[in-house]
Amino acid sequence: EAAVTQSPRNKVAVTGGKVTLSCNQTNNHNNMYWYRQDTGHGLRLIHYSYGAGSTEKGDIPDGYKASRPSQENFSLILELATPSQTSVYFCASGSGRGTGQLYFGEGSKLTVL
C-alpha cells in the first residue's frame, strides 16, 4: 500500500528558529510535494520535486527551502521561522506530472511562537 510518512507530527518552534519537516515515501514515486493548509485557503503548494536532486518553487515558496536528497525523502526547511508560518503542512507523492493521484501524509502541525 502507498505510504507517505511525515515527521514530526507536531512541532512548536520559536520565532527565528530553524525548522525542518521531513517526509518519506515508499511508493517509488518520482514526484513529491509540500503543501500548507490554512482555513479559507485550501491547500497551497510550497515546493515540489520531480526527482532526487531537484526542487521547484510552488505558489508560495517565500520563507521556505526544500531538499530532495533521495527518491524517498523530501524535506521542507524554514530557516527563520515566523508566526505566519504556523500551519498544517502536508507532504504528498505522485507518479505523474500533475496527471495522477496524489498520496498524502497525515500532516505536520507547526506552531511558531
Per CB under 8 A, the list member of 43, 52, 60, 77 interacting with other proteins is 43
Q: For residue 25, give the nearest of 112, 76, 109, 91 by alpha carbon.
A: 91
| Cell of residue 52, nine digits | 532526487
| Cell of residue 100, nine digits | 495522477
Single-letter code of the amino acid located at 85: Q
Q: Write the interaction track for other proteins spanning residues 71-100; mark x where CB under 8 A is met and - where it is not.
A: -------------------x-x----xxxx
Which of 18, 41 has the CB closer to other proteins? 41
Site of interaction with other proteins (CB under 8 A): 4, 33, 35, 40-45, 90, 92, 97-102, 104-107
